[in-house]
Amino acid sequence: MSFAAPNKKRTNTNLSKQHKLSNIRKTLYITGFAGLFLISGSATIFLISSFVYIRNDASYPTSLPWVESKSQCEEFGRTWRNDQCWDGEHSHDF
């Protein structure tokens, strides 16, 4: 039985290919995790900022049922219309 010496050229080529594949795999993992981190971080910042920086300057006219007279309504600086006192600067957050 004779054993032939391993072909160093073939072995080096295989190792080189494996090394390149390993580097490509590592690069893809790092890029994937970095992308996932950036996307989730951006979504988190957007979500937090939407709660923190809510600024709603919109006002909606609404009637004030506890004000029953025109004089009382006008005393508070409101508008009397259709036998109701209307507040034109009422916020929906109230």
pLDDT in tens, 68-83: 899 998 888 888 988 8
- pLDDT average, residue stretch 18-33: 86
8 pLDDT band (50/70/90 cuts)? low
Smallest CA-to-CA distance from 60 within 85, 90, 84 is with 90
CA 75 to the chain's CA centroid:
46
Q: Where are the domains of the chain?
A: 21-52, 59-94
pTM, full prediction = 0.39
> With pLDDT > 90 as the criterion, what percentage of the chain qualifies?
21
